[in-house]
Each structure stands twice: as structure tokens, then as C-alpha cells.
Amino acid sequence: MKRIEAELFTDGGNDAVVRMPGRQFPGVLVQGDSLHILRSAVAEVVEACERGDLVEARDSAGLLLADLDALLMRYEAALGEHEIPRPY
């Protein structure tokens, strides 16, 4: 393990916006349990597609998209507050 200093642009919650040393742009630190939840949501979409249940797949994908949109909005808000351009 190596200890480093990083720049924290939001509170240290489950989806903190952090810039690591040597990086131009911040990233989003996703906690392990939150990562597992995201992975499970993607698996639900895949499983529904495999069953041919497009209604469930669309619903699950919509929920996943909403979660990712919220994460992206938090990231973009943090960049805006610190006058950092978006990397995309």
C-alpha cells in the first residue's frame, strides 16, 4: 500500500470527486459496495435481454441510466464549482 495526497472536490461520500496526483482531471471514487450495486444493475439488464423480456430490460436500464446520470451530474457540478473544464 502506498499513501498519497489527493484533491477532494466533494464530500467523501460514496461517490466522491477526487483528483489523483499527476492527473489533469478529477475522477469519481466509487466505493466497493456501490460498484457491486452498479454491476448488479447491469446484470439485471443482461439477464432480462437473455430471457427476451424487453420491458424489464428497458425498465432496469432506465433505472441504471438514472443512477449514472446522477453520478455524472455530481461530477459535472464539482468541476463547475472549481472552474475545471469537462474532459469530454
pLDDT for the residue 13: 81
pLDDT digits (tens, 9 = 90+) for 1-57: 999 999 999 987 889 999 999 999 999 999 999 999 999 999 999 999 999 999 999
State yes or no: pLDDT of 75 exceeds 90: yes
Q: What's the residue count for the chain?
A: 88
Picking from 38, 79, 78, 83, the residue whose alpha carbon sits closest to that of residue 61 is 38
CA distances from 39 to 6, 11, 34, 43, 67 (A): 26, 24, 9, 6, 12
pLDDT of residue 14: 84
The Cα–Cα gap between 53 and 82 comes to 44
Residue 79: partners with Cβ closer than 8 Å, 6 or more residues away: 9, 17, 25, 26, 85, 86
Question: How confident is the model over 49-60, as pLDDT tens digits?
Answer: 999 999 999 999
pLDDT digits (tens, 9 = 90+) for 79-88: 999 999 999 9
Sheet of 27-30, strands arranged across? 7-8, 15-19, 27-30
The domain segmentation of the chain, as residue ranges, is 7-81
pTM: 0.88
